[in-house]
Homo-oligomer: A and B are copies of this chain.
Amino acid sequence: MLERLKQEVYEANMLLPKSGLVTLTWGNASAFDKESELMVIKPSGVSYEAMKPEDMVVVDLDGRCVEGKYRPSSDTPTHLQLYQSFRQLGGIIHTHSPHATAFAQAELDLPCYGTTHADYFFGSIPCTRPLSDEEIKEAYEKNTGVVIADTFQKRNLDVLAIPAVLVAKHGSFTWGATVQKAAETAIVLEEVAKMAAMTLALNHGVDSAPQCLLDKHYYRKHGANAYYGQK
């Protein structure tokens, strides 16, 4: 079942170590099939060298394994919570890519310092609050998703305009209409986090990019008046 989605999820997973975002087995990719309400996700702790498309695991919204010989990623409840909170999403990537994780560990939002960031993210990428001890003990992975959703709701952020989050003391999640798009966004997130760290090292008091520049770059790639790329 969902063979095409398994292939896409497999390819997105394989892109992560190839792009330098993932060490060992850290990180995972999933896609959500809106019709069947089933999620395809990477198996837990399987090495990238050995992984094949048919090893992807299919789970339902309650986290029950519907197909697959492996256990799903231990982060499965986070992915499921995000698909439930944000019904627009078709794919999600989780990594511990180093520069994005450094911002998450430092518990800092990633400000927009330039057009590279503005081409993909319409403003700062938020860092969540830390989970409480109760949230960690009760249902850690699910509550990670809940805290992400809370962050976007409280700050009134559009999940498709800011397709990434930093989870305090943990790592990053990126998403999109498809898992390929989410994987591309994971690559961009790490690159803009690296550039932001370099920028801060040169000038600690640096200003964020002005709103007008954000608007220009974001809308030249997104929405009805976009003119970047081919028709």
Binding site for B on A (CB under 8 A): 23-24, 26, 43-46, 70-71, 74, 96, 98-99, 101-108, 113-116, 119, 130-131, 133, 136-137, 140, 169-171, 184, 187-188, 191, 194-203, 206-207, 209-210, 212-213, 216, 220, 227-231
CA gap between A95 and B96 in the complex, in Å: 23
Q: Let me know if B114 and A203 touch, CB within 8 A.
A: no
CA gap between A169 and B209 in the complex, in Å: 6
Residues of B contacting A206 in the complex (Cβ-Cβ under 8 angstroms): 105-107
Residues of B contacting A107 in the complex (Cβ-Cβ under 8 angstroms): 203, 206-207
Residue in B closest to A191 when the chains form the complex, CB atoms: B23
Q: A136-B213, A197-B201 are in contact. List 10 more A-B contacts (CB 8 A).
A: A26-B116, A45-B230, A70-B230, A71-B227, A106-B203, A107-B206, A108-B203, A133-B210, A136-B212, A137-B216
Q: Let me know if A105 and B199 touch, CB within 8 A.
A: yes
Residues of B contacting A199 in the complex (Cβ-Cβ under 8 angstroms): 102, 105-106
Residues of B contacting A216 in the complex (Cβ-Cβ under 8 angstroms): 136-137, 140
Q: Let me know if B114 and A195 touch, CB within 8 A.
A: no
User: How many copies of the chain does the oligomer comprise?
Assistant: 4
Q: Let me know if A115 and B169 touch, CB within 8 A.
A: yes
Q: Let me know if B70 and A170 touch, CB within 8 A.
A: no
Residues of B contacting A115 in the complex (Cβ-Cβ under 8 angstroms): 96, 169-171
